[in-house]
Structure 1
C-alpha cells in the first residue's frame, strides 16, 4: 500500500505542479474573463466526466481487488456501458451548448472539452488500481499532464488562442490512456466490449447503482458552486472565483488519491470485526488531518500574499475566497473518506439518500448565498454542505459500529497549527515563501513535541500489521 501511495503521490505532485504552472500561465495569458470562460466550460465537462468514470470504476476496482479472475469480463462490460453513456452525454452537451451559448468561441471550447467524455470512457486505470499495480497509472498521469502543458506553452499566447486549451488537454489525455491500453493488451488481450445480457452484467450494474449515485453526488458537491457562480456572474467574476477554486481542488486531489490507494485494503476489511475496522479507519483519518489542517490554517493566514504572489494583480480580490474556501479540503476529504469506507464495506446504499439530498440541496444553497452575499456566499455554502456530510457519514459509520474516534484526530494538528501562525505572520514581511517554509518547520517541531503521528498508525497504513479475519493482531 505504501509503495502504491508513494507512486501515485509522486505522480500527483508532479502533475499538480505542472497543472498549477499551467493555471498561473493561463490566468495571466487569458485574463480574468478568458480564464473564467475556460474554467466554467471545464467544470461542466468535468462533472459529466465523473458521471462516466467514478461510479463504475469504484465498483469495478472493488470487484477486481476481491476477484482478479473477473478482470476481462468486467472490462468488457465497463467499456461498453461507459461508451454508450459518454456518446449520449456528448451529444446532449453539444446540443445544449449550441442552444444556450451565443458566442461561437464558447460553443467550440465546450465541445472540445466534451471530447474528454470519450477518452474517459476508454480509460482502464481501474484495472491496475484494483490489482494494486499503479506504476503504469502514475506514468500515464504524468504523460497526460506534460503533453497538455507543452501544447499550452507552444500554442496559447493570448485570449485569441483560447480554443487550443481544451484541444491540448484532450490530446494529452488520449496519449496517457493509450499507454495504459498498451499494458492491458499485452497482459490480458484486446478487450471486446459487449452489452449483451448476462448474469454478471446485471449483478455488476445492480451493485454499481448505489456506488454510482454516491460518486455522482460527490462530483456535484465538488463543482456545483463554480457552475452556479458561472450562471449568475460575469465572466470576469467567474475567473476571480475560479483561481482559488482551482488551488483548493489541487489539494483535494491528494485526498482522492489517498482514498483510491486505500480502497482495496478497505474492501478486504469487510470481513474484519468492527473494532479492527475502526482501528484502521482511525489511522487513516488521523494521517489526513495531520496534513490537511495545517495546510488550511497556513493558506488562511497567508491568503493575501499567496494570491498576489501566484496570480496577476487582477486576481488580488480573491484572497478572502481562498482564506475561507481552503477549508473545504479537510471537510470534503473527510466526508468522502467516510463514504468510501461505506462502499468498501458493502454498505453503499446506507448513505445514498443523505448524500443525494446534500448534493441536490447544495445547488439552491449556493445560489441563495451567492445572491445574498456575493462570491463569498458560494464558498460558504459548500463549507456548510461539507460539514453536514461529515456529520452524516460519521453517523452512518456509527450505526455500523465502525466509526473513527474523531475527537482524537484534531487536537495535535490544531495545536501545532496554532503554534505556526506567529512565525508565518512575522516572516511574511520578508517573503510569502519564507513564511510558508517557516510555518512548516514550526509545525513539524510542535507536532513532534506533542507526540506527532503514532508509530502504530504508521504500521497500520504501511500494512506492517495486517488485521486477521477475527480482528486479531
Structure 2
C-alpha cells in the first residue's frame, strides 16, 4: 500500500496545483468568453487556428525532455545540475529550429495577412511558454509544486489583463496575439528567477544521450498534440474560420474540464516514478486508486454537461454559438476515456514503458487524422467531435490491454464499484432536469451525488484511511 507520507505529499502537491488550476480555469474562462464574443466566430477561429498550429510545432522544442527530467530528478535528485544544464542547452537549439519551421507557413503563403501575423506572435508565445514549462518540469521532479502554482496563476493573470486591455482599447486579433506574447515573456522571467534563487544557477550544455532517452516522451507529445490540435487546423483549411470558432467553443469547455485530471496526473507522476524503483505494490495501488478517484470525478461532470449543454453554451458564449450544443454533448463523452488514458499513460511512463505509450498515441493520431479526413467534409465540426470520442475510446482499449499485460490492470472483481458510482450519478440527473435555475440545479445535483457516493460505499475503508492520514498530516 502507498505510504501515508507519500499520500500527504501527493495531496499537498495536488492541492497546490488545484488552486492554480481553479484560478487559471476561471481566468481562461473569462478571457475565452471575452474573445469569443468580441472577435466573433471568424476572429476567434483565426486565434484558435494559430494556437493549434503553433501548439503542434512547439512540442518539437521539448521532445520529451521535460517529462524525462521530471522522472529522473524524482528518482535521483542529486543528478539535477547535470540534467538541467543539458536540458536547457537542448531546449535552446530545438526552439530556434522550431521557430524557423513555423515561419515557413506565412512565407509559403498558406496563411497570409492577419492570420500570418497572428501565427508569428502566437509562435513566440508558445516557445517562451515552453521554456517556462521546462522549469516547471524541474519543480515537479523536486515535488515543489508551489512554484508551478504561482507561475500558473501569474501567467493566466498576465493573459487575462492583456486580453481585457485589448478589448477595452478596441484592438484586433493581432493585438490579442501580442498580449499573449508579452504574458509569456513576463511569466518566463518569474520561472527563471525563482529557479535560480531557490535551487541553483543552471549551466548550459548539450546531450545527445538525453535526447535519445527523452525522445519517446517527445514523440508521444507530438502525437498527442497532433491529435489535440489537428482537428482545428483541418477545419480551418476545409471549412473555414467560422467552423473552427463553433468547434472551439465547446472544445474550450472540454479543455477546462480535463485540466482537473491534469492536476492530479502532474502530481502523481513523480510519485509513480519513485515507486517504480521502490515498491511495485505501491505503484499498483496508486494506479488503481487513481483510476477510481478520477472516474468518480468524471461521471458527474459528464452527466451535468450533457444534460445542460444548451443553457451552458448560451450562458457562456451567447446565442451565436448555440450550433455548438450537439458538439459539446458529443465531446463531453470523451472525458471518461481521457481520464483513464491519462493515468494509464503516467503509469507506463513511470515504469520505463514510454515507447509503448508512443506507439499507442501514434496509432491514435493516425486514426484521428483519418477519421477527420472522412468526417469533416460531410459533417463539418460535428465530424471532428465524433472523431475525438472514437479516438479516445480506441486509446482506452489499447492502454487497458497493455496495463493488464503488465499485471497492473483492473480485474472483473474491481467493476463492482461501478454501480456505487453510477447510481448516485443517475439520481443527480433527476435534479438537473428540474425546472429551476441552472445555478440552483448544479449545486443540488452535486450535493446529491456526493451524498450518494458516501451512502453506497464507493469510498471504502482504505480510501477513508488515506484521507484521515492526509488530514492529520496537514494539521
After TM superposition, the score normalised by the length of structure 2 is 0.91
Other-structure match for 1:284: 290
- The 1:162–1:371 alpha-carbon spacing in structure 2 relative to 1, beyond 3 Å, is same
Are residue 75 (structure 1) and residue 99 (structure 2) matched? no
- What CA deviation, in whole Å up to 9, does each residue of 1:113-156 have, x standing for no partner? 00024313432111111000111110111011111111111122
Other-structure match for 1:116: 125
Are residue 171 (structure 1) and residue 179 (structure 2) matched? no
Are residue 437 (structure 1) and residue 446 (structure 2) matched? no
Task: Report the Cα offset of residue 310 of structure 1.
Answer: 1.0
- The 1:159–1:320 alpha-carbon spacing in structure 2 relative to 1, beyond 3 Å, is farther
Alignment of 1:144-293 (within 5 A): 144-157=155-168, 161-195=172-206, 201-271=207-277, 274-293=280-299
C-alpha distance in structure 1 between counterparts of 2:257 and 2:101, whole Å: 31
C-alpha distance in structure 2 between counterparts of 1:423 and 1:117, whole Å: 42
Other-structure match for 1:366: 372
| Aligned partners of 1:331 and 1:390 also within 8 Å | yes
Task: Report the Cα offset of residue 459 of structure 1.
Answer: 4.7
Higher helix share: 2
**SS of alignment partner, residue 346 of structure 1:** coil
| Aligned partners of 1:55 and 1:208 also within 8 Å | yes
Other-structure match for 2:5: none
C-alpha distance in structure 1 between counterparts of 2:223 and 2:179, whole Å: 29
| Aligned partners of 2:417 and 2:458 also within 8 Å | no
| Aligned partners of 1:292 and 1:329 also within 8 Å | yes
Task: Report the Cα offset of residue 203 of structure 1.
Answer: 3.5
- The 1:305–1:341 alpha-carbon spacing in structure 2 relative to 1, beyond 3 Å, is same
C-alpha distance in structure 1 between counterparts of 2:246 and 2:24, whole Å: 23
| Aligned partners of 2:106 and 2:112 also within 8 Å | no
| Aligned partners of 2:50 and 2:119 also within 8 Å | yes
Other-structure match for 2:3: none
- The 1:34–1:458 alpha-carbon spacing in structure 2 relative to 1, beyond 3 Å, is farther
Match of 1:95 among 87, 104, 107: 104
Which sections of structure 2, spanning at least 5 residues, go unmatched?
Answer: 1-9, 471-475
C-alpha distance in structure 1 between counterparts of 2:56 and 2:208, whole Å: 26
Task: Report the Cα offset of residue 180 of structure 1.
Answer: 1.9
- The 1:254–1:277 alpha-carbon spacing in structure 2 relative to 1, beyond 3 Å, is same
How many aligned positions are there? 458
Task: Report the Cα offset of residue 157 of structure 1.
Answer: 4.6
Query: Superposition RMSD on alpha carbons, in Å?
Result: 2.1
Task: Report the Cα offset of residue 41 of structure 1.
Answer: 0.8
C-alpha distance in structure 1 between counterparts of 2:211 and 2:465, whole Å: 36
Other-structure match for 2:301: 295
- What CA deviation, in whole Å up to 9, does each residue of 1:295-346 have, x standing for no partner? 0111000001111111121101111111110122221221122111101011
C-alpha distance in structure 1 between counterparts of 2:47 and 2:441, whole Å: 32
| Aligned partners of 2:349 and 2:357 also within 8 Å | no
**SS of alignment partner, residue 374 of structure 1:** helix
C-alpha distance in structure 1 between counterparts of 2:50 and 2:461, whole Å: 46
- The 1:346–1:327 alpha-carbon spacing in structure 2 relative to 1, beyond 3 Å, is same
- The 1:160–1:175 alpha-carbon spacing in structure 2 relative to 1, beyond 3 Å, is closer
Which sections of structure 1, spanning at least 5 residues, go unmatched?
Answer: 196-200, 465-473
After TM superposition, the score normalised by the length of structure 1 is 0.92
C-alpha distance in structure 1 between counterparts of 2:383 and 2:464, whole Å: 39
| Aligned partners of 2:63 and 2:215 also within 8 Å | no
Match of 2:433 among 406, 425, 434: 425
Other-structure match for 2:59: 50
- What CA deviation, in whole Å up to 9, does each residue of 1:56-90 have, x standing for no partner? 11110000111111212111111111221111111
Task: Report the Cα offset of residue 160 of structure 1.
Answer: 5.2
**SS of alignment partner, residue 115 of structure 1:** helix
- What CA deviation, in whole Å up to 9, does each residue of 1:180-229 have, x standing for no partner? 2112212443322222xxxxx34322221222222222222222222222
Task: Report the Cα offset of residue 403 of structure 1.
Answer: 1.3
- The 1:54–1:408 alpha-carbon spacing in structure 2 relative to 1, beyond 3 Å, is farther
